[in-house]
Amino acid sequence: MRVLKATQQAIAAAGAALRSGALVAFPTETVYGLGADATSGRAVAAIYSAKGRPRFNPLIVHVRDLDAAQRLGRLTGSGRQLAAAFWPGALTLVLAKEPRCPVAELATAGLSTIALRVPAHPIAQALIRAADRPVAAPSANRSGHVSATTAAHVEADVGASVAIILDGGPTPIGLESTVVDATSAEPVILRLGGLARDDMERVLGRPLALARGATGKPASPGMLARHYAPAARLRLDAGEVHAGEALLAFGPTVPKHAAAAINLSPSGDLAEAAANLFSALRELDAAGPEAIAVMPIPHVGLGEAINDRLKRAARPQ
Ligand code: TXA
Ligand code: MG
C-alpha cells in the first residue's frame, strides 16, 4: 500500500491500478471513497472484503458527468432537476438501471436500481477520468465505523487492502452524500447528508420526504439504526459534562470540562461542524472516555444530517 500526495503522476498511477482491478482510496468533497472498477465483479468483490461489509449492501457508482450518469441510469423529471442543480456535488441519485448498464451486478447488489454520483472534488474527478470507467466506491472505513475524512483514517481502517491511497488532505464537507431515490415521480431522501434537504426543496419547489428507516426492509443501510459508531457511549443534548466524560462541543459557550474536549465549531457554523464531526468522534473515542457528552446542535440545514449521525451513534450497541 502506498499513500501518495495526489499529484498528476500519482493520479495516473491510481487510474492504472483501478483498471488492473486493484482498490484505490481517494478524497471526494464529502468523505474518502474506497474505489474499484465498477465494471469488474472481481474488483468490486475486493471492496466488500476490505470493508468487512455484508454483501447485499449496494455501492455508489461515481461518474465524471451527467452524460456518463445517463448511460448507466434513467433520469426522470425530479431526478433531472436535482442533477442539473447539484451535480457535481454531494448528491447521490438512485435511478432505474439502464438495460445496457455495464456495471457489475455485485456493485448494485443485484438490484434493478443504481446509485450514481458525480463528485466535485478535483482529485476524484481526475481519478475517474484517469480510470476511464465508472468507479464503485463506498466510504473508505471498516463497516460500522464512522466514515474516513482524512488519509490517515483510511490507512487505519482499510490500509492493508488498498493499492494506493491518494492523499488530498481532509475532506471539505465531512458528511457522506445525501442519497435520494429518484426512481419514481415522488423522490424521497434515503440518507441525509452533505447536501441539505431545504436546498433540494428550493429547487424542486415542494417538500421532500424522508424515507422511514423503520418501514420493513431498509431501503438504504444509511438508515440502519446503529451505523455510525464510536466505541464510547454518546450522551446527546448535554448541557454539562459529567466525571469521566469527554466533550463534543458546539458554539461559543462551552460548559466546564476536565477531560478531552473538541469544539466542532466555536463560531457555531454548521458546515464547519460537519467537516469536523467524524475526525472529532474518532479522536475523542481514542482517548477512551466513559462517554462522550455532545452539546445540542441546531436542527437546521446541515444540522439535520449531523443530528442524524449523532442519534445513530448514540444507540446502544
Ligand atoms: O459521500 C458518499 O456518499 C461516499 C463517497 C465515497 O461517495 N460514499 C458512501 O458510500 O457513503 P456508502 O457505501 O458508505 O453508502 C452508500 C449508501 C448506502 O446507504 C447504500 O445503501 C445506498 O447508498 N445505496 C446504494 N445503492 C443503492 C440502491 N440501488 N438503492 C438504495 N440505496 C442505495
Ligand atoms: Mg459508509
Domain CATH code at residue 290: 3.40.50.11030
pLDDT score of 217 more than 80: no
| Domain-embedded: residue 39 | yes
Count how many domains the chain has: 2
Cβ–Cβ < 8 Å for 103, 60: no
Residues 6 or more apart in contact with residue 20 via CB below 8 angstroms = none
Residue 217 included in any domain: no
Would you say 137 and 46 are in contact if contact means Cβ atoms under 8 Å apart?
Answer: no
Q: How many CB atoms lie within 10 A of CB 7?
A: 10
Please check whether residues 55 and 154 belong to one and the same domain: yes
**Does some domain include residue 22?**
yes
Model confidence at 215: pLDDT above 50: no
Residues 196, 276, single domain; the answer is no
Say whether both 163 and 278 belong to one domain: no
Tell whether 226 is covered by a domain: no
The ligand with the least distance to the CA atom of 92 is: 1
pLDDT on residue 234: 95
Q: Are residues 247 and 280 in the same domain?
A: yes
Q: pLDDT at position 310, please?
A: 94
- Cell 458546539, located at residue: 250
Counting from 1 in the atom list of ligand 1, the atom nearest the Cα of 194 is 1
Q: Kindly state the average pLDDT of the residues 266-291.
A: 93
Q: What pLDDT, in 10s, does the model give residues 73-106?
A: 999 899 999 999 999 999 999 999 999 999 999 8
- Cβ(292)–Cβ(246) below 8 Å: yes
Q: Distance, CA 139 to ligand 2 centroid (Å)?
A: 4
**End residue of a domain, out of 175, 210, 245:** 210
Q: How far is the CA of 33 from the centre of ligand 1 (A)?
A: 11
Q: Does the pTM exceed 0.85? A: yes
CATH code, domain with 7: 3.90.870.10
Residue ending a domain, among 210, 242, 266, is: 210
H-type helices in 191-302, by residue range?
197-204, 270-286
pLDDT of residue 223: 52
Pocket test for ligand 1, best of 44, 92, 150, 309 (most atoms within 8 A of CB): 92
Q: Do residues 29 and 147 both lie within one domain?
A: yes
Give the pLDDT of residue 222: 52
Within-domain flag for 228: no
pLDDT in tens, 49-69: 898 866 668 999 999 999 999
Residues contacting ligand 1 via CB (< 6 Å): 28, 30-31, 33, 57-60, 92, 94, 108, 111, 113-115, 117, 137-139, 176-177, 179, 190-191, 219-222
Question: Would you say residue 91 lies in a domain?
Answer: yes
Domain shared by 117 and 18, yes or no: yes
- Looking at the structure, tell me whether residues 278 and 131 fall in a common domain: no
Q: Is residue 115 part of a domain?
A: yes
Alpha-carbon gap, residue 175 to 165, rounded angstroms? 19
- Tell me how far the alpha carbon of residue 210 lies from the centroid of ligand 1, in angstroms: 16
Amino acid type, 94:
V
CA 258 / ligand 2 centre spacing (Å): 33
| More confident position, 93 or 45 | 93
In this structure, the answer to whether residues 26 and 103 fall within a common structural domain is yes
Enumerate residues with CB within 5 Å of ligand 2 (an ion).
Answer: 139
CA proximity to 293, closest of 253, 252, 244? 244
**Same domain, yes or no: 149 and 23:** yes
| Closest ligand by atom to 193 CA | 1
How confident is the model at residue 220, as a pLDDT?
55
Full domain range(s) for residue 172: 2-210
76: exposed, middle or buried (C-beta count within 10 Å: 0-12, 13-18, 19+)? middle
* Residues 269, 176 within the same domain: no
Contact 14, 164 (CB under 8 A): yes
Q: What percent of the chain has pLDDT over 90?
A: 82
C-alpha 64/C-alpha 288 separation (Å) is: 41
Both ends of the chain: CA-CA distance in Å?
Answer: 32
Assess whether 197 and 251 both reside in one domain: no
Q: Are residues 116 and 238 in the same domain?
A: no
Q: Does any domain span residue 221?
A: no
CA distance linking residue 61 with residue 104, whole number of Å: 10
